Amino acid sequence: MAPGVSHGQRWLTAGVKKQSRVAPCKEEREKNQVAATSSSTPSDKELMALTLGQMQGFSSWPSTSMSLLLAASRLCWHRRGDSLSASAKEPEVFVILTGHVMQFETSPNGIRLRWALRGPRQILGFSSMLSIEESRREHVANDDVVAIHIAGRPFLELLDGDPVRWKDIGRMLVQQERDQIDTLLGQIVGGLSARLASTIKQLAALHGTRPAGESAIHLQLTQKDLAGLLRVSRQSVNKELIGLEAAGVIALKLNAIVILDESALGKITRSFPSSENPKYEKEIKNSIGDIALMENFLRMNPAFAPWSREAMNQLLASSTIGRHSPGFVFSTDLCAAGHSFLVISGEAMITHTSQAGEQFNMMMVGPGIFVGVAQIFGGTSHAVLSLVAHSDVMAIHIPTSLIVELLDRKSALWKDMVLMSVRQSAVQVNMVSTQIAGSLRQRAAATIERLAALYGTRAKGESSIRLQVSQATLAAMLQANRQAAHRVLKAIAASGAISLEYKTIAIRDLDALKSYAVEAECEA
Protein backbone atom coordinates (compact mmCIF):
# COMPACT_ATOMS: atom_id res chain seq x y z
CA MET A 1 0.00 0.00 0.00
CA ALA A 2 1.32 3.45 -0.88
CA PRO A 3 2.50 5.59 2.08
CA GLY A 4 -0.23 7.81 3.45
CA VAL A 5 -3.04 5.87 1.74
CA SER A 6 -5.53 4.38 4.22
CA HIS A 7 -7.49 1.15 3.78
CA GLY A 8 -10.60 3.28 3.41
CA GLN A 9 -9.00 5.24 0.60
CA ARG A 10 -7.91 2.00 -1.05
CA TRP A 11 -11.56 0.87 -0.85
CA LEU A 12 -12.67 3.91 -2.83
CA THR A 13 -10.54 2.84 -5.80
CA ALA A 14 -11.13 -0.92 -5.39
CA GLY A 15 -13.88 -0.80 -8.02
CA VAL A 16 -11.28 -0.14 -10.70
CA LYS A 17 -9.35 -3.23 -9.65
CA LYS A 18 -12.44 -5.40 -9.58
CA GLN A 19 -13.33 -4.46 -13.13
CA SER A 20 -9.84 -5.17 -14.48
CA ARG A 21 -7.14 -7.58 -13.38
CA VAL A 22 -4.54 -5.50 -15.28
CA ALA A 23 -2.34 -3.38 -13.00
CA PRO A 24 -2.84 0.38 -13.52
CA CYS A 25 -0.13 2.21 -15.42
CA LYS A 26 2.18 4.74 -13.71
CA GLU A 27 0.03 7.76 -14.63
CA GLU A 28 -3.11 6.06 -13.32
CA ARG A 29 -1.39 5.09 -10.07
CA GLU A 30 -0.23 8.66 -9.48
CA LYS A 31 -3.72 9.94 -10.25
CA ASN A 32 -5.30 7.46 -7.84
CA GLN A 33 -2.85 8.36 -5.08
CA VAL A 34 -3.62 12.05 -5.46
CA ALA A 35 -7.36 11.33 -5.35
CA ALA A 36 -6.90 9.01 -2.36
CA THR A 37 -5.10 11.63 -0.29
CA SER A 38 -7.72 14.30 -0.98
CA SER A 39 -9.11 15.93 2.17
CA SER A 40 -12.66 14.97 1.08
CA THR A 41 -11.86 11.25 1.35
CA PRO A 42 -13.50 9.59 4.38
CA SER A 43 -11.20 8.03 6.97
CA ASP A 44 -11.11 4.36 7.90
CA LYS A 45 -13.02 5.10 11.10
CA GLU A 46 -15.73 7.00 9.22
CA LEU A 47 -16.17 4.15 6.73
CA MET A 48 -16.39 1.58 9.52
CA ALA A 49 -18.92 3.68 11.46
CA LEU A 50 -21.03 4.20 8.32
CA THR A 51 -21.14 0.48 7.49
CA LEU A 52 -21.82 -0.73 11.03
CA GLY A 53 -24.49 1.91 11.52
CA GLN A 54 -26.44 0.45 8.59
CA MET A 55 -26.52 -3.05 10.10
CA GLN A 56 -29.29 -4.40 12.32
CA GLY A 57 -26.85 -5.62 14.94
CA PHE A 58 -25.17 -2.24 15.45
CA SER A 59 -27.65 0.46 14.35
CA SER A 60 -28.91 1.17 17.88
CA TRP A 61 -25.49 1.40 19.56
CA PRO A 62 -24.91 4.76 21.31
CA SER A 63 -21.98 6.88 20.12
CA THR A 64 -19.82 6.07 23.17
CA SER A 65 -20.16 2.31 22.67
CA MET A 66 -19.61 2.67 18.94
CA SER A 67 -16.42 4.61 19.59
CA LEU A 68 -15.17 1.81 21.85
CA LEU A 69 -16.05 -0.74 19.16
CA LEU A 70 -14.20 1.25 16.50
CA ALA A 71 -11.18 1.51 18.79
CA ALA A 72 -11.09 -2.32 18.85
CA SER A 73 -11.47 -2.53 15.07
CA ARG A 74 -9.28 -2.15 12.02
CA LEU A 75 -10.01 -1.87 8.31
CA CYS A 76 -8.13 -4.29 6.05
CA TRP A 77 -7.88 -4.79 2.32
CA HIS A 78 -7.53 -8.38 1.10
CA ARG A 79 -6.63 -9.66 -2.36
CA ARG A 80 -8.48 -12.63 -3.86
CA GLY A 81 -7.24 -15.79 -2.18
CA ASP A 82 -6.19 -14.11 1.08
CA SER A 83 -7.41 -15.65 4.34
CA LEU A 84 -9.12 -13.00 6.45
CA SER A 85 -7.83 -14.53 9.69
CA ALA A 86 -4.24 -15.18 8.56
CA SER A 87 -2.82 -12.14 10.37
CA ALA A 88 -5.02 -12.39 13.48
CA LYS A 89 -3.19 -13.01 16.77
CA GLU A 90 -6.47 -13.32 18.71
CA PRO A 91 -9.99 -14.41 17.63
CA GLU A 92 -11.76 -11.78 15.53
CA VAL A 93 -15.11 -11.24 13.87
CA PHE A 94 -15.31 -9.74 10.40
CA VAL A 95 -17.78 -7.41 8.69
CA ILE A 96 -17.45 -7.05 4.92
CA LEU A 97 -17.60 -3.57 3.43
CA THR A 98 -17.11 -4.48 -0.20
CA GLY A 99 -16.35 -7.63 -2.15
CA HIS A 100 -17.22 -11.21 -1.28
CA VAL A 101 -15.73 -13.93 0.89
CA MET A 102 -15.89 -17.68 0.29
CA GLN A 103 -16.54 -19.68 3.43
CA PHE A 104 -14.65 -22.97 3.43
CA GLU A 105 -15.41 -25.90 5.70
CA THR A 106 -12.98 -28.77 6.24
CA SER A 107 -14.80 -32.05 6.68
CA PRO A 108 -13.71 -34.56 9.35
CA ASN A 109 -11.98 -36.61 6.61
CA GLY A 110 -9.83 -33.59 5.74
CA ILE A 111 -11.54 -32.48 2.52
CA ARG A 112 -11.86 -28.70 2.07
CA LEU A 113 -15.29 -27.65 0.82
CA ARG A 114 -16.58 -24.40 -0.61
CA TRP A 115 -19.55 -23.88 1.68
CA ALA A 116 -21.06 -20.43 1.22
CA LEU A 117 -20.50 -17.07 -0.44
CA ARG A 118 -20.67 -14.21 2.07
CA GLY A 119 -21.10 -10.55 1.15
CA PRO A 120 -21.33 -6.93 2.35
CA ARG A 121 -22.77 -6.16 5.80
CA GLN A 122 -22.57 -9.76 6.98
CA ILE A 123 -20.85 -10.66 10.24
CA LEU A 124 -18.46 -13.61 10.03
CA GLY A 125 -16.22 -15.58 12.35
CA PHE A 126 -18.43 -15.59 15.43
CA SER A 127 -17.90 -19.32 16.01
CA SER A 128 -14.11 -18.86 16.10
CA MET A 129 -14.44 -16.90 19.35
CA LEU A 130 -16.15 -19.80 21.09
CA SER A 131 -13.37 -22.39 20.57
CA ILE A 132 -15.78 -24.89 19.05
CA GLU A 133 -13.94 -28.15 18.39
CA GLU A 134 -16.21 -29.13 15.50
CA SER A 135 -15.74 -25.81 13.67
CA ARG A 136 -13.15 -26.09 10.88
CA ARG A 137 -14.03 -22.85 9.13
CA GLU A 138 -12.00 -20.45 7.03
CA HIS A 139 -12.98 -17.25 5.24
CA VAL A 140 -11.09 -16.46 2.04
CA ALA A 141 -11.40 -13.34 -0.13
CA ASN A 142 -13.22 -14.32 -3.33
CA ASP A 143 -12.33 -11.02 -4.99
CA ASP A 144 -10.80 -7.79 -3.71
CA VAL A 145 -12.32 -7.42 -0.24
CA VAL A 146 -12.35 -4.62 2.31
CA ALA A 147 -13.39 -5.87 5.74
CA ILE A 148 -13.67 -4.61 9.29
CA HIS A 149 -11.70 -6.79 11.73
CA ILE A 150 -13.16 -6.55 15.25
CA ALA A 151 -11.17 -7.96 18.17
CA GLY A 152 -13.24 -10.75 19.71
CA ARG A 153 -12.73 -10.14 23.43
CA PRO A 154 -13.63 -6.40 23.44
CA PHE A 155 -16.58 -7.18 21.16
CA LEU A 156 -18.02 -9.72 23.62
CA GLU A 157 -17.43 -7.31 26.52
CA LEU A 158 -19.37 -4.58 24.69
CA LEU A 159 -22.22 -7.00 24.00
CA ASP A 160 -22.36 -7.92 27.68
CA GLY A 161 -22.48 -4.21 28.56
CA ASP A 162 -26.07 -3.91 27.31
CA PRO A 163 -28.46 -6.88 26.84
CA VAL A 164 -30.20 -5.09 23.96
CA ARG A 165 -27.01 -5.49 21.93
CA TRP A 166 -27.23 -9.27 22.31
CA LYS A 167 -30.81 -9.07 21.06
CA ASP A 168 -29.84 -7.07 17.96
CA ILE A 169 -26.78 -9.20 17.18
CA GLY A 170 -28.76 -12.36 17.91
CA ARG A 171 -31.55 -11.53 15.50
CA MET A 172 -29.00 -10.64 12.82
CA LEU A 173 -27.05 -13.88 13.28
CA VAL A 174 -30.22 -16.00 13.27
CA GLN A 175 -31.35 -14.27 10.06
CA GLN A 176 -27.97 -15.06 8.49
CA GLU A 177 -28.35 -18.68 9.62
CA ARG A 178 -31.73 -18.86 7.88
CA ASP A 179 -30.24 -17.48 4.67
CA GLN A 180 -27.43 -20.05 4.87
CA ILE A 181 -29.90 -22.91 5.36
CA ASP A 182 -31.82 -21.86 2.25
CA THR A 183 -28.66 -21.56 0.16
CA LEU A 184 -27.13 -24.80 1.41
CA LEU A 185 -30.29 -26.76 0.60
CA GLY A 186 -30.19 -25.47 -2.95
CA GLN A 187 -26.55 -26.51 -3.33
CA ILE A 188 -26.77 -30.10 -2.16
CA VAL A 189 -30.23 -31.47 -2.99
CA GLY A 190 -31.62 -32.58 -6.35
CA GLY A 191 -30.34 -32.79 -9.90
CA LEU A 192 -27.67 -30.42 -11.19
CA SER A 193 -30.10 -28.21 -13.13
CA ALA A 194 -32.25 -27.57 -10.06
CA ARG A 195 -29.24 -27.09 -7.76
CA LEU A 196 -27.59 -24.68 -10.17
CA ALA A 197 -30.74 -22.59 -10.62
CA SER A 198 -31.45 -22.58 -6.88
CA THR A 199 -27.92 -21.54 -5.96
CA ILE A 200 -27.86 -18.69 -8.50
CA LYS A 201 -31.27 -17.51 -7.29
CA GLN A 202 -30.32 -17.59 -3.60
CA LEU A 203 -26.93 -15.93 -4.09
CA ALA A 204 -28.45 -13.26 -6.31
CA ALA A 205 -31.03 -12.49 -3.60
CA LEU A 206 -28.27 -12.16 -1.00
CA HIS A 207 -25.40 -10.62 -2.95
CA GLY A 208 -26.69 -9.51 -6.34
CA THR A 209 -26.74 -5.88 -7.46
CA ARG A 210 -29.16 -4.09 -9.77
CA PRO A 211 -27.50 -1.18 -11.60
CA ALA A 212 -29.53 2.00 -11.93
CA GLY A 213 -31.96 1.82 -14.84
CA GLU A 214 -31.61 -1.97 -15.22
CA SER A 215 -34.06 -4.73 -14.34
CA ALA A 216 -31.43 -7.46 -14.46
CA ILE A 217 -29.51 -8.59 -11.36
CA HIS A 218 -25.71 -8.90 -11.56
CA LEU A 219 -23.97 -11.57 -9.47
CA GLN A 220 -20.17 -11.53 -9.18
CA LEU A 221 -19.30 -15.23 -9.21
CA THR A 222 -16.96 -17.30 -11.35
CA GLN A 223 -18.00 -20.59 -12.91
CA LYS A 224 -15.16 -22.27 -11.02
CA ASP A 225 -16.51 -21.07 -7.68
CA LEU A 226 -20.04 -22.08 -8.64
CA ALA A 227 -18.80 -25.56 -9.56
CA GLY A 228 -17.03 -25.78 -6.19
CA LEU A 229 -20.21 -24.90 -4.29
CA LEU A 230 -22.13 -27.56 -6.21
CA ARG A 231 -19.29 -30.14 -6.00
CA VAL A 232 -19.27 -30.83 -9.76
CA SER A 233 -16.84 -30.17 -12.59
CA ARG A 234 -16.54 -26.73 -14.16
CA GLN A 235 -17.44 -28.26 -17.53
CA SER A 236 -20.75 -29.56 -16.15
CA VAL A 237 -21.63 -26.13 -14.76
CA ASN A 238 -20.62 -24.41 -18.00
CA LYS A 239 -22.88 -26.72 -20.02
CA GLU A 240 -25.89 -25.95 -17.78
CA LEU A 241 -25.17 -22.21 -17.81
CA ILE A 242 -24.98 -22.13 -21.60
CA GLY A 243 -28.40 -23.80 -21.69
CA LEU A 244 -29.86 -21.18 -19.35
CA GLU A 245 -28.30 -18.42 -21.43
CA ALA A 246 -29.73 -19.86 -24.66
CA ALA A 247 -33.17 -19.89 -22.99
CA GLY A 248 -32.83 -16.19 -22.13
CA VAL A 249 -32.84 -16.81 -18.36
CA ILE A 250 -29.33 -15.50 -17.72
CA ALA A 251 -26.44 -13.81 -19.51
CA LEU A 252 -22.82 -14.81 -18.90
CA LYS A 253 -20.21 -12.13 -18.32
CA LEU A 254 -16.56 -12.25 -17.25
CA ASN A 255 -16.59 -13.62 -13.68
CA ALA A 256 -20.28 -12.73 -13.38
CA ILE A 257 -23.79 -14.01 -14.07
CA VAL A 258 -26.62 -11.64 -15.02
CA ILE A 259 -30.12 -12.84 -14.10
CA LEU A 260 -32.50 -11.71 -16.83
CA ASP A 261 -35.63 -13.68 -15.91
CA GLU A 262 -36.09 -14.32 -12.16
CA SER A 263 -39.47 -15.96 -12.73
CA ALA A 264 -38.06 -18.59 -15.10
CA LEU A 265 -35.22 -19.28 -12.66
CA GLY A 266 -37.71 -19.72 -9.83
CA LYS A 267 -39.73 -22.30 -11.77
CA ILE A 268 -36.66 -24.50 -12.06
CA THR A 269 -35.92 -24.32 -8.32
CA ARG A 270 -39.38 -24.58 -6.77
CA SER A 271 -39.87 -27.50 -4.37
CA PHE A 272 -43.08 -29.26 -3.49
CA PRO A 273 -44.26 -31.19 -0.42
CA SER A 274 -43.63 -34.89 -0.31
CA SER A 275 -46.37 -37.02 -1.81
CA GLU A 276 -46.16 -39.28 1.22
CA ASN A 277 -49.21 -39.03 3.45
CA PRO A 278 -48.02 -38.44 7.02
CA LYS A 279 -49.53 -40.41 9.86
CA TYR A 280 -51.41 -38.26 12.32
CA GLU A 281 -51.54 -38.82 16.05
CA LYS A 282 -54.28 -37.76 18.38
CA GLU A 283 -53.43 -34.61 20.31
CA ILE A 284 -52.72 -35.33 23.96
CA LYS A 285 -53.30 -32.74 26.65
CA ASN A 286 -50.28 -32.22 28.86
CA SER A 287 -50.47 -33.80 32.29
CA ILE A 288 -48.82 -32.33 35.37
CA GLY A 289 -46.05 -34.85 34.86
CA ASP A 290 -45.58 -33.73 31.24
CA ILE A 291 -45.28 -30.09 32.30
CA ALA A 292 -42.64 -31.00 34.89
CA LEU A 293 -40.82 -33.11 32.29
CA MET A 294 -40.82 -30.25 29.76
CA GLU A 295 -39.45 -27.75 32.24
CA ASN A 296 -36.77 -30.16 33.41
CA PHE A 297 -35.43 -30.67 29.87
CA LEU A 298 -35.79 -27.01 28.91
CA ARG A 299 -33.78 -26.02 31.97
CA MET A 300 -31.08 -28.52 30.94
CA ASN A 301 -30.68 -26.72 27.62
CA PRO A 302 -28.28 -23.72 27.94
CA ALA A 303 -30.58 -21.51 25.86
CA PHE A 304 -33.46 -21.87 28.34
CA ALA A 305 -31.62 -22.45 31.63
CA PRO A 306 -31.60 -18.75 32.70
CA TRP A 307 -35.27 -18.06 31.90
CA SER A 308 -37.28 -16.52 34.74
CA ARG A 309 -40.18 -18.37 36.36
CA GLU A 310 -42.66 -16.02 34.66
CA ALA A 311 -41.18 -16.48 31.19
CA MET A 312 -40.90 -20.25 31.63
CA ASN A 313 -44.52 -20.51 32.75
CA GLN A 314 -45.67 -18.63 29.65
CA LEU A 315 -43.62 -20.93 27.46
CA LEU A 316 -44.95 -24.10 29.12
CA ALA A 317 -48.56 -22.92 28.91
CA SER A 318 -48.38 -22.86 25.09
CA SER A 319 -46.11 -25.87 24.54
CA THR A 320 -46.97 -29.54 24.19
CA ILE A 321 -45.05 -32.74 24.58
CA GLY A 322 -45.28 -35.18 21.69
CA ARG A 323 -44.55 -38.90 21.68
CA HIS A 324 -43.99 -40.10 18.13
CA SER A 325 -43.48 -43.56 16.71
CA PRO A 326 -40.83 -44.29 14.03
CA GLY A 327 -41.75 -42.88 10.64
CA PHE A 328 -44.18 -40.28 11.99
CA VAL A 329 -43.82 -36.87 10.32
CA PHE A 330 -44.36 -34.50 13.22
CA SER A 331 -43.47 -31.34 11.34
CA THR A 332 -43.72 -30.43 7.66
CA ASP A 333 -43.13 -26.69 8.16
CA LEU A 334 -39.51 -26.39 9.32
CA CYS A 335 -39.13 -23.74 6.60
CA ALA A 336 -42.12 -21.88 8.01
CA ALA A 337 -42.53 -20.04 11.29
CA GLY A 338 -44.83 -22.51 13.06
CA HIS A 339 -43.14 -24.53 15.79
CA SER A 340 -39.68 -25.17 17.17
CA PHE A 341 -38.74 -28.49 18.72
CA LEU A 342 -36.53 -29.69 21.56
CA VAL A 343 -35.82 -33.42 21.39
CA ILE A 344 -36.07 -35.12 24.78
CA SER A 345 -35.36 -38.72 23.77
CA GLY A 346 -34.90 -40.74 20.61
CA GLU A 347 -33.68 -39.44 17.26
CA ALA A 348 -35.45 -37.53 14.50
CA MET A 349 -34.40 -36.93 10.91
CA ILE A 350 -34.52 -33.55 9.18
CA THR A 351 -35.54 -34.44 5.62
CA HIS A 352 -35.64 -32.25 2.51
CA THR A 353 -37.84 -33.00 -0.49
CA SER A 354 -36.78 -31.61 -3.86
CA GLN A 355 -38.96 -30.53 -6.77
CA ALA A 356 -38.49 -33.92 -8.38
CA GLY A 357 -39.62 -35.69 -5.22
CA GLU A 358 -36.07 -36.68 -4.24
CA GLN A 359 -35.51 -36.93 -0.51
CA PHE A 360 -32.30 -36.05 1.26
CA ASN A 361 -31.92 -36.90 4.94
CA MET A 362 -29.99 -33.80 5.96
CA MET A 363 -29.13 -34.77 9.48
CA MET A 364 -30.15 -36.81 12.48
CA VAL A 365 -30.97 -34.86 15.64
CA GLY A 366 -31.08 -36.38 19.10
CA PRO A 367 -31.64 -35.51 22.76
CA GLY A 368 -30.95 -31.89 23.67
CA ILE A 369 -31.05 -30.61 20.08
CA PHE A 370 -33.25 -27.56 19.50
CA VAL A 371 -34.44 -26.83 15.94
CA GLY A 372 -36.73 -24.35 14.19
CA VAL A 373 -36.20 -20.89 15.68
CA ALA A 374 -34.41 -19.48 12.60
CA GLN A 375 -37.43 -20.12 10.40
CA ILE A 376 -39.46 -17.22 11.80
CA PHE A 377 -37.03 -14.79 10.19
CA GLY A 378 -38.24 -15.67 6.72
CA GLY A 379 -36.19 -16.63 3.73
CA THR A 380 -36.24 -16.82 -0.05
CA SER A 381 -36.42 -20.60 -0.40
CA HIS A 382 -39.49 -22.67 -1.22
CA ALA A 383 -37.76 -25.75 0.17
CA VAL A 384 -39.71 -28.38 2.04
CA LEU A 385 -38.13 -29.52 5.30
CA SER A 386 -39.79 -32.18 7.43
CA LEU A 387 -38.99 -33.54 10.86
CA VAL A 388 -39.52 -37.30 10.95
CA ALA A 389 -39.23 -39.65 13.92
CA HIS A 390 -36.34 -42.03 13.23
CA SER A 391 -36.94 -44.03 16.40
CA ASP A 392 -39.48 -43.60 19.19
CA VAL A 393 -39.20 -39.85 19.81
CA MET A 394 -40.32 -37.61 22.63
CA ALA A 395 -40.12 -33.90 21.78
CA ILE A 396 -41.38 -30.57 23.07
CA HIS A 397 -43.38 -28.55 20.51
CA ILE A 398 -43.08 -24.80 21.12
CA PRO A 399 -44.64 -21.93 19.11
CA THR A 400 -41.66 -20.16 17.53
CA SER A 401 -43.30 -16.73 17.62
CA LEU A 402 -43.72 -17.04 21.40
CA ILE A 403 -40.05 -17.94 21.88
CA VAL A 404 -38.93 -14.84 19.97
CA GLU A 405 -41.49 -12.64 21.75
CA LEU A 406 -40.23 -13.74 25.17
CA LEU A 407 -36.59 -13.34 24.10
CA ASP A 408 -37.31 -9.79 22.92
CA ARG A 409 -39.03 -8.89 26.20
CA LYS A 410 -35.91 -9.86 28.16
CA SER A 411 -33.05 -9.06 25.81
CA ALA A 412 -30.43 -10.67 28.07
CA LEU A 413 -31.90 -14.08 27.19
CA TRP A 414 -30.72 -13.67 23.61
CA LYS A 415 -27.08 -14.23 24.63
CA ASP A 416 -27.55 -17.85 25.67
CA MET A 417 -29.81 -18.54 22.67
CA VAL A 418 -27.13 -17.16 20.31
CA LEU A 419 -24.27 -19.08 21.94
CA MET A 420 -26.26 -22.33 21.92
CA SER A 421 -27.32 -21.83 18.29
CA VAL A 422 -23.78 -21.07 17.10
CA ARG A 423 -22.35 -24.15 18.82
CA GLN A 424 -25.15 -26.39 17.60
CA SER A 425 -24.81 -25.04 14.05
CA ALA A 426 -21.09 -25.89 14.04
CA VAL A 427 -21.88 -29.50 14.97
CA GLN A 428 -24.56 -29.71 12.26
CA VAL A 429 -22.29 -28.23 9.58
CA ASN A 430 -19.66 -30.76 10.61
CA MET A 431 -22.22 -33.56 10.19
CA VAL A 432 -23.44 -32.46 6.77
CA SER A 433 -19.88 -31.94 5.49
CA THR A 434 -19.15 -35.52 6.58
CA GLN A 435 -22.02 -36.75 4.41
CA ILE A 436 -21.09 -34.92 1.21
CA ALA A 437 -17.25 -34.77 1.13
CA GLY A 438 -15.10 -37.49 -0.42
CA SER A 439 -15.68 -40.87 -2.02
CA LEU A 440 -18.75 -42.88 -1.07
CA ARG A 441 -16.64 -45.18 1.09
CA GLN A 442 -15.08 -42.24 2.93
CA ARG A 443 -18.46 -40.58 3.45
CA ALA A 444 -20.11 -43.79 4.65
CA ALA A 445 -17.35 -44.53 7.17
CA ALA A 446 -17.13 -40.93 8.42
CA THR A 447 -20.92 -40.62 8.76
CA ILE A 448 -21.23 -43.88 10.69
CA GLU A 449 -18.36 -42.87 12.97
CA ARG A 450 -19.86 -39.42 13.61
CA LEU A 451 -23.40 -40.71 14.20
CA ALA A 452 -22.06 -43.39 16.54
CA ALA A 453 -20.25 -40.72 18.57
CA LEU A 454 -23.46 -38.68 18.83
CA TYR A 455 -26.17 -41.35 19.12
CA GLY A 456 -24.54 -44.77 19.46
CA THR A 457 -25.10 -47.00 22.48
CA ARG A 458 -22.81 -49.50 24.17
CA ALA A 459 -24.48 -52.34 26.04
CA LYS A 460 -23.05 -53.31 29.41
CA GLY A 461 -20.18 -55.71 28.97
CA GLU A 462 -19.92 -55.08 25.20
CA SER A 463 -17.04 -53.33 23.45
CA SER A 464 -18.90 -52.58 20.21
CA ILE A 465 -21.05 -49.49 19.66
CA ARG A 466 -24.53 -50.04 18.22
CA LEU A 467 -26.09 -47.44 15.93
CA GLN A 468 -29.74 -47.75 15.01
CA VAL A 469 -29.85 -46.72 11.37
CA SER A 470 -31.05 -48.65 8.32
CA GLN A 471 -29.04 -48.95 5.13
CA ALA A 472 -31.82 -47.12 3.26
CA THR A 473 -31.67 -44.20 5.68
CA LEU A 474 -27.89 -44.06 5.50
CA ALA A 475 -27.99 -44.14 1.68
CA ALA A 476 -30.36 -41.17 1.67
CA MET A 477 -28.05 -39.25 4.00
CA LEU A 478 -25.15 -39.94 1.62
CA GLN A 479 -27.20 -39.05 -1.48
CA ALA A 480 -26.44 -42.46 -2.95
CA ASN A 481 -28.65 -45.24 -4.24
CA ARG A 482 -29.24 -48.09 -1.85
CA GLN A 483 -27.35 -50.66 -3.96
CA ALA A 484 -24.16 -48.57 -4.08
CA ALA A 485 -24.35 -47.87 -0.35
CA HIS A 486 -24.91 -51.57 0.37
CA ARG A 487 -21.79 -52.55 -1.63
CA VAL A 488 -19.65 -50.06 0.28
CA LEU A 489 -21.03 -51.12 3.66
CA LYS A 490 -20.38 -54.79 2.84
CA ALA A 491 -16.77 -53.94 1.95
CA ILE A 492 -16.27 -52.10 5.25
CA ALA A 493 -17.96 -54.96 7.13
CA ALA A 494 -15.65 -57.49 5.43
CA SER A 495 -12.69 -55.74 7.04
CA GLY A 496 -14.15 -56.29 10.50
CA ALA A 497 -14.64 -52.59 11.24
CA ILE A 498 -18.43 -52.96 11.41
CA SER A 499 -21.13 -55.60 11.23
CA LEU A 500 -24.50 -55.16 9.54
CA GLU A 501 -27.67 -56.14 11.39
CA TYR A 502 -31.36 -55.44 10.88
CA LYS A 503 -31.72 -51.62 10.89
CA THR A 504 -28.55 -51.48 12.98
CA ILE A 505 -24.83 -51.07 12.38
CA ALA A 506 -22.45 -52.31 15.06
CA ILE A 507 -19.02 -50.64 15.19
CA ARG A 508 -16.50 -53.36 16.06
CA ASP A 509 -13.23 -51.52 15.41
CA LEU A 510 -13.49 -47.75 15.72
CA ASP A 511 -9.88 -47.09 14.69
CA ALA A 512 -10.30 -49.13 11.50
CA LEU A 513 -13.53 -47.27 10.72
CA LYS A 514 -11.76 -43.92 11.14
CA SER A 515 -9.02 -45.06 8.76
CA TYR A 516 -11.64 -45.71 6.09
CA ALA A 517 -13.00 -42.19 6.63
CA VAL A 518 -9.69 -40.52 5.78
CA GLU A 519 -8.33 -42.89 3.13
CA ALA A 520 -7.78 -41.54 -0.38
CA GLU A 521 -8.13 -44.75 -2.37
CA CYS A 522 -11.04 -45.35 -4.70
CA GLU A 523 -14.14 -46.97 -3.30
CA ALA A 524 -14.74 -50.62 -3.93
- What letter does residue 311 receive in the DSSP assignment? H
| The pLDDT of residue 53 is above 50 | yes
The neighbouring-strand residues paired with 128 are: none
The predicted model scores a pTM of: 0.78
Nearest CA to 297 out of 426, 395, 365 is that of 395
CATH number for the region 438-518 comes to 1.10.10.10
Give the three-state DSSP class for 325.
coil
Give the H or E element holding residue 78.
Answer: strand 73-78
| The pLDDT of residue 521 is above 50 | no
The answer to whether 466 and 457 have CB atoms below 8 angstroms apart is yes
Give domain limits for the chain: 7-161, 187-269, 288-408, 438-518
d(CA 290, CA 321): 7
* High-pLDDT (> 70) share of the chain, %: 83
pLDDT tens digits, one per residue of 242-269: 999 999 999 999 889 999 998 888 777 6
Give the three-state DSSP class for 210.
coil
| The pLDDT of residue 503 is above 60 | yes
pLDDT tens digits, one per residue of 194-234: 889 888 988 888 889 998 888 899 998 999 999 998 988 99
Confidence at residue 6, expressed as pLDDT on a 0 to 100 scale: 52
Q: How confident is the model at residue 458 (pLDDT cuts 50, 70, 90)?
A: confident
Confidence at residue 106, expressed as pLDDT on a 0 to 100 scale: 85
Is domain 288-408 annotated with CATH 1.10.3720.10? no
- Burial grade of 270 (CB within 10 A; 0-12, 13-18, 19 or more): middle
* Fold assignment, 187-269: Arc Repressor Mutant, subunit A (1.10.10)
User: Is 438-518 the same fold as 7-161?
Assistant: no
* Fold assignment, 7-161: Jelly Rolls (2.60.120)
Tell me the DSSP string of 359-423: EEEEEEE-TT-EE-GGGGG--S---EEEEEESSSEEEEEEEHHHHHHHHHHSTTHHHHHHHHHHH
